[in-house]
């Protein structure tokens, strides 16, 4: 809350293990990550291009972290979106695998696959992960904050209530693909799947900068 009062937006990567997995006494459950599952941060998932060798439509990056917290209850700002997902998704995992009443994440996503990174002047291809998608989304928010400040408005601060109130306006909805989870007979390595609107794989979707700027430029 203090960070939000200062106009800071806290972003965290959703993790690179899909829904995660843990096993106790032969019973499997998904394993949410932290701080990605905190209700006080904006969590960024990951996508890939449908054709990895061309700029095409985006699909789920199977490593994209997402799910439901076992510690934090679902915050009021995402109640409507998450309830809609749970009631409409045709491919929900068994209910014993996740806490449907917990804080759901991620909130948004960005491309997390196929980056080139230069280390000691050596280019390294095909670097992937939500630790790549998160600074991309952060950079876009910084540009939007710059426009807001130039127009005499404060920086965005805590973003989540606004994202959910606006139903993902300014974001490309990612509706194809599922992320990974437990490798057992019951779920066979599949966690949650994306769909129209918010989902616990890519959140509300990936940034469309002109549209997102238009959406977030005003108070």
Q: Binding residue per annotation — 44?
A: no
171: which 2 tokens?
A: 């974001």
122: which 2 tokens?
A: 């050596």
Half-sphere exposure at residue 177, Cβ-oriented, CA atoms within 13 angstroms: 23
26: which 2 tokens?
A: 């032969």
Q: How many helices (H) and strands (E) does the chain have?
A: 5, 14
- DSSP β-bridge partners for residue 27: 24
Q: For residue 78, what are the CA distances in angstroms to 138, 142, 160, 183, 200?
A: 21, 24, 8, 30, 12
Q: Binding residue per annotation — 16?
A: no
Q: Binding residue per annotation — 195?
A: no
Let me know: does 91 contact 178? Beta carbons within 8 Å: yes
Q: Binding residue per annotation — 173?
A: yes
Q: Residue 104: which of 13, 201, 169 has the closest Cα?
A: 201
Summarize the annotated binding site for Ca(2+) as residue ranges: 173-174, 197, 199
């Amino acid at each position: 809350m203090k960070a939000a009062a200062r106009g800071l937006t806290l972003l965290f990567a959703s993790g690179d293990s899909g829904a995660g997995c843990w096993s106790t006494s032969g019973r499997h459950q998904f394993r949410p990550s932290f701080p990605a599952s905190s209700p006080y941060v904006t969590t960024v998932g990951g996508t890939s291009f449908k054709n990895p060798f061309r700029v095409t439509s985006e699909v789920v990056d199977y490593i994209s972290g997402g799910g439901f917290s076992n510690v934090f209850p679902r915050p009021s700002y995402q109640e409507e979106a998450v309830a809609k997902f749970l009631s409409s998704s045709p491919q929900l995992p068994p209910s014993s695998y996740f806490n449907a009443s917990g804080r759901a994440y991620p909130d948004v996503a960005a491309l997390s696959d196929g980056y080139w990174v230069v280390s000691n002047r050596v280019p390294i291809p095909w670097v992937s992960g939500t630790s790549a998608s998160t600074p991309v989304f952060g950079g876009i928010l910084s540009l939007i904050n710059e426009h807001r400040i130039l127009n005499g408005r404060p920086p965005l601060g805590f973003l989540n209530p606004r994202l959910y109130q606006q139903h993902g306006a300014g974001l490309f909805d990612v509706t194809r693909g599922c992320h990974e989870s437990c490798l057992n007979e019951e779920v066979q390595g599949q966690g949650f799947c994306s769909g129209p609107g918010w989902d616990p794989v890519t959140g509300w979707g990936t940034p469309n900068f002109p549209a997102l700027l238009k959406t977030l430029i005003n108070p």
